[in-house]
Amino acid sequence: MPELPEVETVRRGLLPAMEGRLIEKATVNRPDLRWPFPPDMAARLTGQRVQALRRRSKYILCDLSGGETLLIHLGMSGRMLVSGATIGGFHHDHPLPQKHDHVVLDMAGGARVTFNDARRFGAMDLIAAGEEERHPLLAALGPEPLGNLFDEAWLVARLAGRRTPIKAALLDQHLVAGLGNIYVCEVLYRARIAPDRLAGSLDAAQVAGLVPLIREVLSEAIEAGGSSLKDYRQADGELGYFQHNFRVYGREGQPCPTPGCTATIARMAQSGRSSFHCPLCQH
């Protein structure tokens, strides 16, 4: 599933085609994805101007001129593809319709934004303006890891005494929004903390040190356009490249990149997810 950097990259890719532009025609080709679409979604989107494109955790929020906000969740394989506009220095003509093109937004100026989702685990919803934080998918989310509300004091207080592995704690969306398996593995490697270590066993300095590392890893990934694993593509159809910078994720059996370390990267299973780590550097 796309994590925060991938969703932020898609949001930025959509900006020139959508923000400030009118949705001249919305086409909805099926009644649902993971959940049913809101009633009359095509009619409610048609004629609306996109006033702003925001991101909350792993969700894209499109504020519309008519007083509603379109929530978009990419799910496992969802893609927002732009055609008929110049994105990233390249012009992409409109492709032929594809089997899994579920929602199509024809924008003023000739751009087309297509939500394609082969597995149909994505979602779209319409929310009354100002009610986003009460939506069931957003209400319980913690602070944004790149925002001002997420800081050392917050994390130290929330992890104090927790008998949960630090990997699981950082994946808890109530604690911090948007972190996923890939980037938590990379953060813990840089912090030299084993993924199965209990969160409450870390001292305040170790916990505080996670905050700048989380921001560093996420910022580097956004700059690289995210990580392309399986289905993920940017809005212009291009791949992300941060996977080439992975230090531990997916590198089981390969040498640890820490200079002088003689260990190889290991993998352990935690709550159904793979945790990649160096058994010597991380403890």
Annotated active-site residue in 3, 6, 8, 186: 3
Annotated active-site residue in 2, 5, 165, 195: 2
Q: Burial of 192 by CB count in 10 Å (0-12 exposed, 13-18 middle, 19+ buried)?
A: middle
Contact present, 119 and 76 (Cβ < 8 Å): yes
- Is 273 assigned a catalytic role? yes
3-state secondary structure of 13: helix
Annotated active-site residue in 11, 58, 167, 247: 58
Residue written as token pair 């110049």: 86
Strand ranges (DSSP E) for the chain? 23-28, 50-56, 59-64, 68-73, 79-83, 85-87, 90-92, 101-107, 112-116, 123-128, 266-270, 273-277
CA nearest to 111, candidates 202, 23, 201: 23
- Is 58 assigned a catalytic role? yes
Q: Which residues pair with 105 in a beta bridge?
A: 26, 113
- Is 25 assigned a catalytic role? no
CA nearest to 124, candidates 22, 217, 39, 25: 39
- Is 99 assigned a catalytic role? no
CA nearest to 265, candidates 184, 193, 280, 233: 280
Tokens representing residue 233 in the block: 């593509």
- DSSP summary character for residue 258: S
Annotated active-site residue in 19, 267, 273, 279: 273
Pairing assessment for the beta strands 101-107 and 112-116 based on DSSP bridges: antiparallel
CA nearest to 92, candidates 79, 110, 118, 74: 110
The residues annotated as belonging to the active site are 2-3, 58, 273
